[in-house]
Amino acid sequence: MKLLVMGPPGAGKGSQSQKLIADYELTHISTGEMFRRSYERGEEIGKKAMAYINEGNLVDDDITNEIVRKRLLKPDAARCFLLDGYPRTVTQAEALDDMLKEMSSSLTAVINIVVDKDIILERMVGRRVCKSCGHTYHKTFKPPKVEGVCDQCGGTLYQRVDDQLESVRNRLKIYETKTKPIIDYYKGRGLLININGMQSFEAVYKDIQKALRGLR
Ligand code: AP5
Ligand code: MG
């Protein structure tokens, strides 16, 4: 299965992806996560990307397409993958089409998680992320067993710089102008599945599973 998970920042893409990759045995490709890891490793590309990210802006299309191309060509992505947060512009969607054509591959479905703005703000401000494994928590909606410590790996939890209010507002504006148009792009190709993201984690996941039934 080759999936794409999209939706506004804070919609729950990462949270749902963590379950999907485990249950459907998919290779997780999150551009946001790749940029953050690259920055932590001190790489030039990570430093460039983080300058955009901390302000809540999108990373340049060429940098983003290149990092995805390299990742998709690795053997573990040949059979099945889940793209989380890519593409985010029509230019990226077109670049992805070209990459998949080259690989004689195609997407199975595009899951679009729909969430209202006021809910998003609450989710972002309370989010905490594991420094070591990237697992996501929420202070109220999904607290770890021990405060500040990751349940999965014991790593330290932190708040992302781009989860501060100003940056979140900017990300939402950019989502409206640059990312929303690709909903129509995939609708036109008959790949789009809209999922109501304004429910519990479990209810959202059940709806996704239902929508994926019979697809491979
Ligand atoms: P990225 O890391 O992808 O951030 P994002 O898209 O803004 O999405 P988030 O990770 O913030 O939210 P999410 O939908 O994954 O929600 P989550 O599951 O964590 O990208 C970061 C930055 O990198 C971008 O802003 C951009 O600058 C750059 N970038 C990345 N990809 C790019 C691209 N293709 N092109 C250019 N630039 C790119 O959930 C959020 C919170 O809500 C969590 O605390 C969670 O516990 C909670 N929550 C989730 N679901 C529920 C629920 N059902 N009920 C209650 N709480 C919930
Ligand atoms: Mg995410």
Q: For the chain, which domains are there? A: 2-115+170-212 (3.40.50.300)
Ligand 1, atom 12: closest residue by C-alpha: 10
Q: Tell me which of 19, 160, 169, 178 is the catalytic residue.
A: 160
Confidence grade of residue 165 (pLDDT, cut at 50, 70, 90) = confident
Q: Which pLDDT value is given to residue 166?
A: 87
Strands of 109-114's sheet, edge to edge?
27-30, 81-84, 2-6, 109-114, 192-196
Mean pLDDT (whole number) for 162-180: 92
Let me know: does 125 contact 168? Beta carbons within 8 Å. yes
13 belongs to the catalytic site: yes
Q: Which helix (H) or strand (E) holds 24?
A: helix 13-24
Q: Which pLDDT value is given to residue 56?
A: 87
Is the pLDDT score of 55 beyond 90? no
Question: What value does the mean pLDDT of the chain take?
Answer: 95
160 belongs to the catalytic site: yes
Confidence grade of residue 164 (pLDDT, cut at 50, 70, 90) = confident
Residue 179, ligand 1, Cβ within 6 A? no
- Beta pairing class for 127-130 and 136-138: antiparallel
216 belongs to the catalytic site: no
Residue 39, ligand 1, Cβ within 6 A? no
3-state class of 119 per DSSP? helix
Residue 138, ligand 1, Cβ within 6 A? yes
CA within 13 Å, CB half, 175: 21
